[in-house]
Amino acid sequence: MIILNDFDRKKGTKLRNFPTFAIQYAPHMKQNMLRLAHYLRPYQLNIVFNILCNILTVLFSIISIPMLIPFLQILLGIEVPPTIKPTFSWNINGLVKTFYYELGQIIVHFGKERALIYVCAGISIVFFFKNLFKYLSLYFITPLRNGIVRDIRQELFEKTLRLPLSYFSDERKGDLLSRIATDVQEVEWSILNVLEKFIREPLTIIGSIFVMLQLSTPLTSFVLLLILVTGVVIGGIGRTLKKDSTELHGKLGELIAVLEEALGGLRVIKGFNAESYQYKKFGTVNNDFRNLLTRILRRRDLSSPLTEFLGVSVVCVLVWYGFKRVQLGDLDGAGFIAFLYAFFTVIEPSKAIAEAYYYIQKGLAAVDRVDKILMAKETITDPANPLILNSFEHKIEYQNIGFHYKTGEKEILKNISFEIPKGHMVALVGASGAGKSTIADLLPRFYDCTAGEILIDNKNIKDIKVSDLRSFMGIVTQDAVLFNDTIYNNIVFGLQNVNANDVMQAAKSANAYDFIMATEQGFQTNIGDRGVKLSGGQRQRLTIARALLKNPAILILDEATSALDSEAEKAVQAALNELMRDRTALVIAHRLSTVQYANQIIVLNQGAIVERGTHEELLKQKGAYFKLVTMQDLKN
């Protein structure tokens, strides 16, 4: 059975580049291992050494079983050695007979005490090497486990950055964080952590059963029958575990989402005295998570005591049946005790495999959630044969643009057409929801238009590499996006080989240099999460300095001053004027005073162009633009 997520079952999508595990049905094992090989390839030596050490661990574990027999025979006073030297051979019976003969010679010449010392020393050496190789197997597998987790998390992060913005409109940020952080770690704990057991434990079981067969075939057959019955009972417990675990990971994602929203909106929560509402909202999700987790843990925890109880019950039955075999003379007392030890050697790995099954079911739920991100479609991609855009020389053209987020949904933009000649400033104005930001987002291909085309110097932007296209653009948004880093690193963000003097000049041009130097460490001052240590105007001027340093040919300004007070707006507007000098600009404006000098103003309403012209031309028309200006004048 190939483990697929719900998305794959519905769409028939083939999984790529992610390890899934065949739990049932051997024909699919090869296919699943090939998927796993994508991540295992860099760790081939670790795998080889791990398997080798596991084989040696099992070998010394098996050797320890027959070594107990002479130890017990000496303690119990049973006659051990044959008096005639056997013919040496490399099969197990020949080796055992040779061992018994040599042991007998030691007893004859040095006494039972010396022989017991030798046997104890031999057993100690065997167990030393058994545990040494067990440790080494873990030593070699640990870098593989942690490395695969790192690789999956890295691939997830890179995939997240490549996904289009439309993907995140349908997903909660907290849930995505949960998948990248918690679910990936769950893969390590629940699958990679127990994967080794599916190599070592079956070998241990096979070796122990082999020794048991050598000691007593009837007893071994009886034991296998009991184990089969026990396995059926245990296997029926965890069939719903994966389903519950999938729901659990979803609840955890919801929990993190509520927490992330609360931390991001602390000012609003406190300002509206909404703490009790948030307590209740978080408490509801937290309680649901607790109840579901309790149910899962109870089912999982049942496996260990149930296995132990069934194991003890099997041992009791085995002791009864073994006693009968001893009475019949099929086996001596020392041999039966060694058989019991071999049986317990089988029980422990059987128990480990049973627990591993529960963990894997739990981990596969995390695999499904991680795989949903890895298999998400990347709609914004580079063309197979991209056109070269070395420079921007003439104009940007929007030709009959239409756009909707999903097929069948209402169109956000309808038949939008306009030009932005090089060096000109075109402003987009209109009520909220008119489509201004969507038009701007189409230019750097944050989204792709669903009708029409956008041209730069007569080249369709879909025919240009995304990175080349965006290298010509600088973006300043209404919400100043800054990172928890130094002022310097926020200004040079995304740029390589930057000169410190250029950074200083960009800060001066953005009217940011004075307040930067007034901070405790100047350009090396950390500004906190999202620039919380700075005012709104200061944050905005840093983003303008970032754009100035990039020196883009095309600017996209999305209501860059609308969230500022009058004093901050003047400083930022002066910086924007410096930024827009001799550049091509697409400006989204809320305050119309900031775009009255635009070469062309386009007025939008419900996704369509209703007016266009200069500030003076539109005022004379006394249409939609005139009403917007009048309303703002009334507000003032």
Distance CA 398, CA 295 (A): 57
Gyration radius of the chain's alpha carbons: 36
pTM: 0.66
Residue 265 has, within 13 A of its CA and on its CB side, a CA count of 13
Q: Which residue in 342, 251, 414, 361 sits closest to 63, CA to CA? A: 342
Q: Which residues contact 223 (CB under 8 A, 6 or more apart)?
A: 212, 314, 318, 343, 346
CA distance 625 to 434: 13
What's the per-residue H, E or C state across 555-579?
A: EEEECCCCCCCHHHHHHHHHHHHHH
The residue written with tokens 């086996």 in the block is 331
pLDDT at position 64 is: 76
What average pLDDT does the chain have? 77
Q: What is the mean pLDDT of each run of 10 residues along the chain (636 residues)?
A: 34 36 37 57 86 88 73 59 61 63 73 77 87 90 84 84 77 73 75 71 81 77 71 56 64 75 67 74 84 78 69 75 74 72 74 70 72 80 88 92 82 92 91 87 90 93 91 83 86 85 87 88 87 83 86 83 60 74 84 81 92 91 88 56
Burial 470-507 (b: 16+ CB within 10 A, else e): bebbbbbbbebebeeebbbbbbbbeeeeeeeeebbebb
pLDDT digits (tens, 9 = 90+) for 448-502: 999 999 999 999 999 999 889 988 988 888 777 888 889 998 888 888 888 889 8
What does the pLDDT read at residue 111? 75
Helix, strand, coil share (%) of the chain residues, nearest 5 = 65, 10, 25
Per-residue pLDDT at 595: 80
Domains and CATH numbers, the chain: 6-374 (1.20.1560.10), 395-635 (3.40.50.300)
For residue 395, the cross-strand partners are 421
Please provide the size of the chain in residues. Answer: 636
DSSP sequence for 604-616: EETTEEEEEE-HH
